[in-house]
Amino acid sequence: MHPLAQINKLTLDQLLLLVTVSEAGSFSAAAHQLDRVQSTISHGIASLESELGIKLFDRSRRKPVLTPAGLHLLPQARQILTHVRHFQSDAQSLAQGQESSVAIVLDMIIPLEVIPQSLQALQTQYPAVQWLIHTEMLSAISQRIIEGSSQIGFTGMLPRIKKNLVSEVIGKVDFVYVVSHQHALAQASARVTRHALESYTQLGVADRAVSDLGQIQTDRSWQFADLSMLLGFVLAAQGWAFLPLHLVWADLQSGRLQILWPQDKAEIRTEFPIHSIRLESERPGPVRQQLIQAFRQQFKAHDRQTPNQKTLMQVLKQEHSI
Amino acid sequence: MHPLAQINKLTLDQLLLLVTVSEAGSFSAAAHQLDRVQSTISHGIASLESELGIKLFDRSRRKPVLTPAGLHLLPQARQILTHVRHFQSDAQSLAQGQESSVAIVLDMIIPLEVIPQSLQALQTQYPAVQWLIHTEMLSAISQRIIEGSSQIGFTGMLPRIKKNLVSEVIGKVDFVYVVSHQHALAQASARVTRHALESYTQLGVADRAVSDLGQIQTDRSWQFADLSMLLGFVLAAQGWAFLPLHLVWADLQSGRLQILWPQDKAEIRTEFPIHSIRLESERPGPVRQQLIQAFRQQFKAHDRQTPNQKTLMQVLKQEHSI
DNA sequence: TACAAAACATCGAAATTTTCGATAGGTAAA
DNA sequence: TTTACCTATCGAAAATTTCGATGTTTTGTA
């Protein structure tokens, strides 16, 4: 007989018998619990013992009692059974359309705080799901969805042609114009003209698919593929930038950065909606649906802690009253 | 049907099929590996799929390829199978007489260094064995063996009546008479008369079964149930003691303790053999046999690092030449 | 393009295993 | 001592597994 075939001899049912008998206290009680006849249990335990070549229960007394060997093997049998139950429940989840792994792609402009909190709840509810998280900017996000390397994305920029894509708004991110307090623009009044802006270097983000929609506003602009690097350049007074408020808020409060309020804008900040996007052809399972829900909630919670127009005005005045 | 009975539906053989097919690459190849017919594999996989309510293999191509769900469940199936194999190999070990758990009782006079090293090798060779380690002194050690609360003991004192006990020498421990350098006895010459010893307080160990063989040598002696406490009193110059050399060696070298050499003794140190003891009725399994072997080796290794008579003489002279 | 090789599904019959029901015999509590 | 409860055993019935044969699809090759 084949060596691997030996495993067939041992049955999950036999392990179940071992566990059930030890818990029920007797073969008969176990038989009743398992809705079988006593002789079936007797036969099952006996066959298990003969296969293992070892006595598991001492039947010399009124009620069977585990031998040392049985006592040693019992917890292992238990563990195998619970492992099998996990296997089955995983299979059931998969059968009901739950994703086994979800690849997400996130826009870098999304506040870092909302991400772990959104995923945390999901992780406890769907412990079997494997997560793969990418971070991209601009059109690279929808690109990943279209080519299929991620199943769901959260982005501030929808592609021009939404062919095959389904999207919905799940939150917003506030953008503001900022500049270092050491920069020439910081010396002027709070409200700047668009012309003033254009006469200095803009520090902006680079889109991989820049040819597709290259909306470079000034010919002197520098481009970054990484927001933290960009922020470093802004802090070094290399130019002005249009950045997510949450990213620069700490530096605004400390005074290292200052807000610019273009004269043609009604509000200091500009809201950009964040969309969830996915392929139309792939129906989202429960995990992705819950994920969208969680992100929406977290965005809402995050908005409540976000500085409003009034607070921004105060920061603005404070800067220029110094 | 009973809720627990659902587990019967899933078979270890089915999990084996899943794993084997995914490794062999085709149903036929798996059939060949498992020494069965192809239709058996086909039927087995199909029944597994219908039980789980989910397709595991995509058969639309020439060779079957795992679905995402199958890919997700495969490693779990593998893990369950290896767990089951461990279960079986444990059972086999038990069937061959290997102990599932071993309770040891150690004499406190045994050098601490030999113990972990003796057990370490055993732990890698018999990972399934559970260890329970007690520490006792004098007759309490054999007591534990006789009453069955430990299966094997290592002791320096054999009981008078060795009824039912089997013992063998596995090493030795050197004892010396010591006293604090601040004690009156330390001021005298190195060689002391037995009369001189008896006129001062002896700090000794207490035997729980003291009535059985209470060999108290002086009526002023103090008794301790703990060697480290005893050593503390010796260091505090409360009296002299007869202690394992390894226990006082560091303090001898630092000069805090001094050796006493009774005039009626030929050697400075006195060797006491260490015995392994066990019940005659209980045949030792491989673990206990190996354990005795390991202790014997470790004692031998420890002896090589132990100070000899010549070294002790040097310590003795050094003390009294100061 | 046609053919051959390789792979899986299906089906009925045989073989094996599991389960049941009844009975006999042992242990412990009243 | 009686009685209740427990397990082992056995034969028959039921269920499951396995085999062998056959049909269909995919894929590589002449």
* Interatomic separation, CA of residue A35 and C1' of nucleotide D5, rounded (Å): 19
Distance in angstroms, CA of A34 to C1' of D13?
Answer: 20
Cβ–Cβ < 8 Å for B12, A8? yes
In strand C, the nucleotides that come within 7 Å of a protein beta carbon are 6-12, 18-23, 26-29
DSSP state of A195: H
Query: What is the pLDDT at residue B64?
Result: 95
Q: Are A53 and B90 in contact (CB under 8 A)?
A: no
A238 residue type, one letter: Q
pLDDT number for residue B209:
56
The Cα B146–Cα B158 span in angstroms is 12
- Do A183 and A143 form a contact (C-beta atoms < 8 A)? no
pLDDT in tens, B206-237: 776 544 333 444 455 677 878 888 999 999 99
Sign, CA dihedral B299-B300-B301-B307, equals positive
pLDDT for B142: 92
- The Cα–Cα gap between A251 and A255 comes to 6
Which sign does the torsion angle of CA A33, A37, A38, A39 carry?
negative
Mean pLDDT within B137-147: 90
User: What length is written for chain B?
Assistant: 322
A1 min Cα distance to partner chain B (Å): 8
Q: How far, in Å, CA of A309 to CA of A112, rounded?
A: 22
| CA B134 – CA B296 distance, rounded (Å) | 19
Q: What is the distance in angstroms measured between the alpha-carbon CA of B64 and the sugar C1' of C6?
A: 12
pLDDT value for A218: 47
The pLDDT tens digits of the residues spanning A200-250 come to 888 888 776 544 333 444 455 677 878 888 999 999 999 999 999 999 999
Among A143, A118, A114, A141, which Cα is nearest to A131's? A118
pLDDT at A273: 96
Give DSSP secondary structure letters for B115-156. HHHHHHHHHHH-TT-EEEEEEE-THHHHHHHHHTS-SEEEES
Residue B284 zone, left/alpha/beta (φ > 0; ψ -120 to 50; rest): beta
The region, left, alpha or beta by phi > 0 then psi within -120 to 50, assigned to residue A100 is alpha
**Bridge partner residues of B179 (DSSP):** B258
**Which helix or strand (DSSP H or E) is residue A251 part of?**
helix A245-254
**pLDDT value, residue B201:** 85
Q: What whole-number percentage of chain B has pLDDT above 90? A: 54
CB contact under 8 A, B76 and A85: no
Contacts of A72 in chain B (CB under 8 A): 90, 94, 100-101, 128, 130
Residue in A13, A34, A79 closest to B2 by CB: A34
Contact yes or no for A13 and B8 at CB 8 A: yes
* A315 three-class SS: helix
Contact assessment for residue B68 and residue B114, using Cβ atoms and an 8 Å cutoff: no
d(CA B234, CA B178): 8
When mean pLDDT is compared across B67-81, B220-234, B255-269, B277-291, the lowest value belongs to: B220-234
Is it the case that residue B70 has pLDDT exceeding 80?
A: yes
Q: Which residue minimizes Cα–C1' distance to C27?
A: A62
CA of A78 to C1' of D15 (A): 27
Beta-bridged to residue B173, according to DSSP, are B272
Q: Cα distance from A112 to chain B (closest Cα, Å)?
A: 30
Q: Phi first, then psi: what are they for A300, rounded to 5°?
A: -60, -45
**HSE of A132, CA atoms in CB hemisphere, 13 A:** 10
User: CA torsion sign, A82 to A83 to A85 to A89?
Assistant: positive
Q: Which residue has the higher pLDDT, B195 or A60?
A: A60
**Do residue A94 and residue B69 have CB atoms under 8 angstroms apart?**
yes
Nearest to A36 by CA among A23, A21, A49, A25: A21
Q: Can you spell out the DSSP letters for B21-45?
A: HHHHSSHHHHHHHTTS-HHHHHHHH
- Find the residue in B nearest to A20 (Cα): B4
Close Cβ partners of A168 (under 8 Å, ≥ 6 residues apart): A275, A276, A292
8 Å CB contact of B88 and A7: yes
- Tokens 């069965």 correspond to B36
Contact A166, A279 (CB under 8 A): yes
Interatomic separation, CA of residue A224 and C1' of nucleotide C30, rounded (Å): 90
Interatomic CA–C1' length for residue A73 and nucleotide D7, angstroms = 22
Rounded distance between C-alpha atoms, residue B46 and residue A191, angstroms: 72
Model pLDDT, residue A214: 38
Residue stretches of chain A with pLDDT short of 70: 1-8, 188-189, 208-221, 316-322
Q: Which nucleotides of D are covered by protein (CB under 7 A)?
A: 5-11, 17-21, 26-28
- The continuous run of DSSP H or E covering A174 comes out as strand A165-180
- Are B81 and A20 in contact (CB < 8 Å)? no
Q: In chain B, which residue's Cα lies nearest the Cα of A88?
A: B52
Using DSSP's 3-state secondary structure scheme, residue B63 falls into: coil
pLDDT confidence tier of residue B294, bands split at 50, 70 and 90:
very high
Predicted structure pTM score:
0.73
Q: Which of A160-174, B136-150, B177-191, B239-253 has the lowest mean pLDDT?
A: B177-191
CA-CA distances (angstroms) from residue A218 to A194, A224, A283? 11, 15, 42
Nucleotide nearest to B14 (CA to C1'): D17
Chain A residues whose CB is inside 8 A of the B52 CB are 88, 91-92, 94-95
pLDDT digits 0-9 by tens, B112-133: 889 988 898 888 888 888 888 9
> In the prediction, which pLDDT does A321 show?
56
d(CA A245, CA A302): 12
- Identify which of A34, A79, A130 has the shortest CB distance to residue B4: A34
Give B-chain residues touching A94 at CB under 8 angstroms.
52, 54, 69, 72-73
Contact state of B88 with A10 under an 8 Å Cβ cutoff: yes
What are the chain A neighbours of B12 within 8 Å (beta carbons)?
7-8, 10-12
Report the share of chain B in percent with pLDDT over 70. Answer: 89
